[in-house]
Amino acid sequence: MAKPTFIPLTQYEEFPVEEMRGRTRAFHEQLSKRRTVRDFSDRPVPRDIIEKCLLSAGTAPSGANQQPWHFAVVTDGTIKKKIREAAEEEERAFYSGRAPDAWLEALSHLGTDEHKPFLEKAPYLIVVFAQNYGVKPDGGTYKHYYVTESVGLATGLLIAAVHNAGLVSLTHTPSPMNFLSEVLQRPSHERAFLILVVGYPADEVKVPKIEKKTLEDIATFY
Ligand code: IYR
């Protein structure tokens, strides 16, 4: 058993309540401006911006602090093309029969289809991998806990960080997405979780007219 080591929480900052109100209001206002975008510009984004967003994602809490994520960052045009071709092949099957009608009905208001040009157009495809196991220096493996929850949390922070940078993203989930492990030659203890497409929006981009639920809808205070 590892012995726990404790250190003082020196980075914690408390704010007076009025300042708390201002900060939480401003934070919500900023986050509520985020929209998922499906039409990207090919304008380049400096790599250091993406690196810092990934470090923000890496601050997420995780089961036993095992940080069971890996971000495969694709900028190479040849790899993007392979990903697009494989994703579109899966999506063609999805939209033309594999998906039950109820599923297609549920997402019909988003206007999505099997064409995924953004996978080649956007400057960055961040393929998020979940590690069901960790690998020790001697090659032995050990189980990771709460992997899906942990990777979901890191992805949420990544989306917020990208938005905060003034960029847009799309959470893309080709189904199934095991082809990503092959194309990116990832080790067998990793499985693809989703693709976060990142960049600037295309000029004059349009997004679906959708609403977020109200506080009453999403929360109950006891
Ligand atoms: N993966 C498909 C279908 C899709 C499913 C859901 I649920 C969405 O919210 C959006 C799309 C696609 O990317 O088109």
Q: pTM to 2 decimals?
A: 0.97
Provide the CATH number for the domain formed by 35-205 in this structure. Answer: 3.40.109.10
Among 199, 38, 31, residue whose Cα is nearest residue 117: 38
Ligand 1 centroid, distance to 62 Cα (angstroms): 26
Q: Please give the average per-residue pLDDT across 131-142, as a whole number.
A: 95
Residues with CB under 6 A from ligand 1: 91, 94, 107, 110, 112, 172-175
Q: Please give the average per-residue pLDDT across 210-217, as a whole number.
A: 97
CA 85 and chain centroid, separation = 21
Confidence of residue 175 (pLDDT cuts 50, 70, 90): confident
Ligand 1 centroid, distance to 4 Cα (angstroms): 43
β-pairing, 124-131 vs 190-199, is: antiparallel
Q: Per residue in 80-110, pLDDT tens?
A: 999 999 999 999 999 999 999 999 999 999 9
Which of the listed residues 94, 98, 112 should we mutate to test ligand 1's pocket, taking the one with most ligand atoms within 8 A of CB? Answer: 112
